[in-house]
């Protein structure tokens, strides 16, 4: 269990909400972790359980069925989900897609989608990455051309989180390919629209229970009113929402690193070698002490970043630095924690193996860490 005794980003209301989150996860997530991993997808029952508990899109306005809470409540969910060892895609809906719709959507779009996203009846995805365009979103090739009062969408996407489950997809497409970034728009596509199809549930190194898919758009016709916000403003919208997306990743990385450390402490105190526990060796204690120091710094920085974001002050450069640092730190800690498990760490029956596998992608998604350094360098 996460130690909250030194945290500064949360108040008593956040603590009460965390108790609810832990209760729901204990009932609906933890007993099903292995099944979700084996199935390569989490169940819709889990989504609905989160919805019933107010754990989906908690910061959406009450007029749409949300709780109107601050991002701290999202962070509570992110931390507890990551600490549990799960890669379920609820964080994408909570921290990314719901914000796009609430901030940029028309009243009609908000009323159509947000209540279902809050209840868990509607699962969302955002389709950005393409086979030839990853961190460089200006390179996307999917088009949405006007035909009367409709857009006709053609193209393909890949590595899309919630790809198999999604009922609603926010598609990043070029409405005017000649204008580059200024010709990029966000288009809402319902999954039952003719011409839309999903590829396979991709076989990943880790995060097995996070359904991640290819998507194909072949003459997909949607009304012009499905444009999210203003046409041609998609790239600006994407850039504007980056601080929350990258902070969300940093939060999850920190909690996952803490779980890896806790697993290593527990294992080394139980495992014996040469007549004493592995923990009693000086190398083990010094190694764990170093990890503890990194985690202490990480939690302090994370609370600073969460507080700044709640106040609306966290910059894109600061969030990018947080994403880069916390994901690098996570990967260092899970690797060392696995080493302290010895051969057992390489066995999938141990939690540390899953934490190690799942961590590798955090230095890639949300923009690679090399891109994060580029973003930070532009602020110098």
Please say which residue of 232, 258, 275 terminates a domain: 232
Do 197 and 263 have their domain in common?
no
Bridge partner list, 152? 145, 221
Residue 3 forms part of a structural domain: no
Do 163 and 264 have their domain in common?
no
Percentage with pLDDT > 70 across the chain: 99
Return phi, psi of residue 283, to 5°. Answer: -60, -40
DSSP state at residue 2: -
Do 245 and 361 have their domain in common?
yes
Residue 1 forms part of a structural domain: no
Residue 152 forms part of a structural domain: yes
Do 203 and 311 have their domain in common?
no
Check which CATH number belongs to the domain holding 282 and give it. 1.20.140.10
Integer CA distances (angstroms), 5 to 11, 15, 123, in order = 12, 11, 35
**Residue partners of 213: CB distance under 8 A and separation at least 6:** 158, 160, 163, 164, 198, 199, 200, 201, 202
Distance CA 167, CA 123 (A): 5
Check which CATH number belongs to the domain holding 87 and give it. 1.10.540.10
Do 213 and 275 have their domain in common?
no
Do 138 and 228 have their domain in common?
yes
- pLDDT at res. 134: 67
Tell me the three state secondary structure of residue 277. Answer: strand
Please say which residue of 107, 122, 137 terminates a domain: 122
DSSP state at residue 95: I
Q: Which of 207, 290, 289, 288 is closest to 249 using CA atoms?
A: 207
Residue 260 forms part of a structural domain: yes
Do 246 and 296 have their domain in common?
yes
Active site annotation includes 245 = yes
Do 256 and 225 have their domain in common?
no
Do 72 and 140 have their domain in common?
no
Tell me the three state secondary structure of residue 191. Answer: coil
Do 104 and 137 have their domain in common?
no
- Condensed to tens digits (0 to 9), the pLDDT of residues 166-185 reads 999 999 999 999 888 899 99
Identify the weakest region by mean pLDDT among 83-87, 238-242, 275-279.
238-242
- Condensed to tens digits (0 to 9), the pLDDT of residues 129-148 reads 998 876 667 778 999 999 99
Q: What ranges in the chain are assigned the alpha helix state H?
A: 12-28, 33-39, 44-52, 71-84, 90-92, 98-104, 107-119, 234-240, 242-270, 282-310, 316-340, 351-359, 369-377
The residue annotated as part of the active site, out of 80, 102, 245, 263, is 245
Do 370 and 275 have their domain in common?
yes
Do 113 and 140 have their domain in common?
no
Distance CA 38, CA 211 (A): 11
Check which CATH number belongs to the domain holding 205 and give it. 2.40.110.10
Tell me the three state secondary structure of residue 274. Answer: coil
Residue 281 forms part of a structural domain: yes
pLDDT band at residue 200, thresholds of 50, 70 and 90?
very high
Residue 256 lies in domain? 241-377
Cα-to-chain-centroid distance, residue 183: 27
Please say which residue of 122, 146, 161 terminates a domain: 122
- pLDDT at res. 5: 85
Integer CA distances (angstroms), 317 to 74, 94, 242, 310, in order = 21, 22, 9, 16
Indicate if the pLDDT at residue 1 is higher than 90. Answer: no
Return phi, psi of residue 139, to 5°. Answer: -90, 10
Residue 4 forms part of a structural domain: no
Instruction: Yes or no: say if 169 and 215 are a contact pair by the CB < 8 Å rule.
Output: yes
Instruction: Yes or no: say if 114 and 150 are a contact pair by the CB < 8 Å rule.
Output: no
pLDDT band at residue 338, thresholds of 50, 70 and 90?
very high
Output the pTM of the full model: 0.95
Number of folded domains that form the chain: 3
């Amino acid at each position: 269990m996460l130690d909250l005794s030194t945290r500064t980003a949360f108040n008593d209301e956040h603590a009460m909400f965390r108790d609810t989150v832990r209760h729901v996860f204990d009932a609906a997530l933890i007993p099903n972790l292995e099944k979700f991993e084996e199935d390569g997808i989490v169940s819709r029952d889990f989504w609905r359980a989160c919805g019933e508990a107010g754990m989906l899109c908690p910061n959406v306005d009450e007029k749409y069925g949300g709780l109107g809470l601050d991002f701290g409540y999202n962070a509570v969910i992110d931390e507890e989900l990551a600490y549990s060892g799960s890669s379920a895609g609820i964080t994408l809906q909570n921290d990314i897609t719901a914000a796009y719709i609430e901030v940029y959507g028309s009243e009609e779009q908000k009323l159509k989608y947000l209540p279902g996203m809050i209840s868990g009846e509607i699962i969302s995805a955002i389709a950005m990455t393409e086979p030839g365009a990853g961190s460089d979103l200006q390179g996307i090739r999917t088009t949405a051309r006007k035909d009367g009062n409709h857009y006709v969408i053609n193209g393909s996407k890949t590595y899309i989180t919630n790809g198999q489950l999604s009922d609603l997809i926010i598609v990043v497409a070029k409405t005017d390919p000649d204008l580059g970034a200024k010709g990029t728009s966000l288009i809402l596509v319902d999954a039952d629209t003719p011409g839309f199809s999903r590829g396979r549930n991709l076989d990943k190194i880790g995060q097995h229970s996070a359904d991640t898919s290819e998507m194909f758009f072949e003459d997909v016709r949607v009304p012009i009113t499905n444009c999210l916000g203003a046409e041609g403003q998609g790239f600006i919208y994407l850039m504007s929402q980056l601080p929350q997306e990258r902070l969300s990743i940093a939060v999850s990385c920190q909690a996952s690193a803490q779980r890896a450390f806790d697993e290593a402490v527990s294992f080394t105190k139980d495992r014996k070698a040469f007549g004493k526990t592995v923990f009693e060796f000086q190398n083990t204690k010094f190694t764990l002490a170093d990890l503890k120091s990194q985690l202490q710094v990480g939690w302090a920085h994370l609370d600073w970043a969460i507080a700044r974001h709640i106040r609306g002050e966290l910059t894109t450069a600061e969030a990018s630095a947080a994403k880069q640092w916390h994901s690098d730190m996570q990967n260092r800690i899970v690797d060392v924690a696995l080493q302290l498990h010895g051969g057992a760490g390489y066995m999938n029956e141990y939690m540390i193996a899953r934490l190690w596998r799942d961590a590798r992608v955090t230095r890639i998604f949300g923009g690679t860490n090399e891109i994060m350094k580029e973003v930070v360098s532009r602020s110098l």
